[in-house]
């Protein structure tokens, strides 16, 4: 039984149906928390669709997993992310970036947002130009140099007690908001984890590179430090990651094929996976 003070969360993006990797994450998070919150990360209007939100709740019910409280839907909370950005702006820790989409695409390092590591800093030293901002598409970037000077090198603990400190280069000038998405994954994630009282962030190891940036934002915004449990990813037996283009079986397809969702959740609890899948090496 988890300690009564442990609050975990499951934060899928409704950009497709859930697959076995999500099931692993959801069962792990549910069992690790006395309370388990559901958050719908639907800030990317180009990728997210309402029918996938229904798919998430159906799939969790099929696995026999109940979340606590109403699901938190990020698209309904953009004013809170704007407030957080305003606070950082008031402290001179963000700057408007006018680089073209092609420049920004070149600096994208992860599907969940720009860690900013490869952004050359072209706009960092520009004086603020409200007229240009009023007429030219732009995003807002964290001035990571100033932010690190303010908050120090971020560190965090994993659930097994290991303590990590971000290395130089782990944090770049991450995008925090852009014209077509009022908040980045990083900013919304830290605001919401704090608002939900999350004490243990359970998620796949593919999101570990996001942790230094998120810990830095937590320090700058005065938000509490959660512990992290980055679990190994579920892979096909041959080592391929589960991805739509690899025809990863969705939980919906497994249900249609007659699989018992509660039995699948129990199997995951026992640390095992259906034939054809395995966990990545830690
Ligand atoms: N929305 C992310 C995903 O679907 C998860 C973000 C997180 O757990 O921090 O992979």
* Residue nearest (by alpha carbon) to ligand 1 atom 7: 11
Residue 116: per-residue pLDDT:
58
What distance in angstroms lies between residue 33's CA and the mean position of ligand 1's atoms?
A: 17
Q: How far is the CA of 11 from the centre of ligand 1 (A)?
A: 5
Split at pLDDT 50, 70, 90, the class of 110 is very low
Quick one: pLDDT at residue 39? 98
Nearest-atom number in ligand 1 for the CA of 189 is 9
Beta carbons within 10 angstroms of residue 211's beta carbon:
22
3-class DSSP string for 66-112: CCCCCCEEHHHCHHHHHHHHHHHHHCCCEEEECCCHHHHHHHCCECC
Contact 210, 112 (CB under 8 A): yes
Q: pLDDT tens digits, residue range 44-85?
A: 888 899 999 999 999 999 999 999 999 999 999 999 999 999
Whether 109 has a pLDDT exceeding 80, the answer reads no
- Residue 193 Cβ contacting ligand 1 at under 6 Å: no
Rounded to 10 degrees, the C-alpha dihedral 45/54/24/3 comes to: 100
What is the Cα–Cα distance from 194 to 188, expressed in whole angstroms? 10
CA distance 220 to 160: 26
| Index of the ligand 1 atom closest to the CA of residue 203 | 8
In CATH terms, the fold of domain 7-78+188-279 is: Rossmann fold (3.40.50)
Name the residue with the closest Cα to ligand 1, atom 3. 12
| CB-ligand 1 contact for 177 (6 Å cutoff) | no
- Residue 231 Cβ inside 6 Å of ligand 1? The answer reads no
Phi and psi dihedrals of 39, rounded to 5?
A: -130, 130
How many CB atoms are closer than 10 A to CB 171? 25
Q: Using alpha carbons, list the distances in angstroms from residue 269 to 24, 25, 205, 266.
A: 9, 11, 18, 5
Best residue for ligand 1 mutational test, from 60, 207, 208 (most atoms within 8 Å of Cβ): 207
- The residues spanned by each domain of the chain are 7-78+188-279, 89-154+165-178
Q: In terms of Cα–Cα distance, which of 38, 16, 19 is closest to 234? A: 19
Provide the angle, in degrees to the nearest 10, between the axes of the packed helices 185-195 and 211-221. Answer: 60
How much of the chain exceeds pLDDT 90, in percent?
82
Ligand 1 centroid vs 41 CA: distance in angstroms? 7
Indicate whether 102 pLDDT > 80.
no
Which of 244, 211, 216, 245 lies closest to 228, judged by CA? 211
Q: What is the pLDDT of residues 202-254, one digit of tens each?
A: 999 999 999 999 999 999 999 999 999 999 999 999 999 887 666 678 999 99
């Amino acid at each position: 039984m988890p300690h009564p003070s442990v609050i975990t969360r499951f934060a899928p993006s409704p950009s497709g149906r859930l697959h076995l990797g999500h099931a692993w994450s959801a069962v792990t998070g549910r069992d690790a928390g006395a309370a388990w919150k559901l958050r719908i990360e639907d800030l990317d209007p180009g990728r997210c669709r309402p029918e996938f939100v229904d798919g998430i709740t159906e799939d969790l019910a099929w696995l026999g997993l109940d979340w606590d409280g109403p699901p938190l839907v990020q698209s309904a909370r953009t004013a809170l992310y704007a407030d957080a950005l305003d606070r950082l702006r008031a402290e001179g820790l963000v700057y408007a970036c006018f680089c073209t989409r092609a420049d920004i695409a070149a600096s994208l390092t992860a599907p969940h947002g720009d860690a900013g590591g490869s952004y050359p800093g072209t706009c960092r030293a520009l004086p603020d130009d409200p007229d240009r901002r009023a007429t030219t598409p732009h995003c807002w970037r964290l001035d990571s140099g100033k932010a690190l000077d303010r908050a120090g090198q971020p560190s965090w603990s994993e659930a097994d007690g290991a303590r990590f400190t971000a290395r130089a280069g782990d944090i770049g000038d991450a995008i925090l908001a852009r014209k077509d998405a009022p908040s980045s994954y990083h900013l919304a994630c830290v605001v919401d984890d704090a608002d939900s009282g999350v004490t243990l962030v359970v998620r796949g190891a593919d999101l570990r590179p996001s942790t230094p940036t998120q810990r830095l934002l937590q320090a700058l915004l005065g938000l509490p430090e959660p512990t992290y449990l980055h679990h190994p990813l579920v892979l096909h037996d041959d080592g391929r990651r589960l991805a739509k283009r690899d025809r990863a079986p969705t939980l919906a397809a497994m249900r249609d094929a007659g699989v018992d969702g509660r039995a699948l959740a129990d199997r995951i609890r026992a640390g095992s996976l259906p034939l054809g899948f395995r966990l990545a090496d830690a």
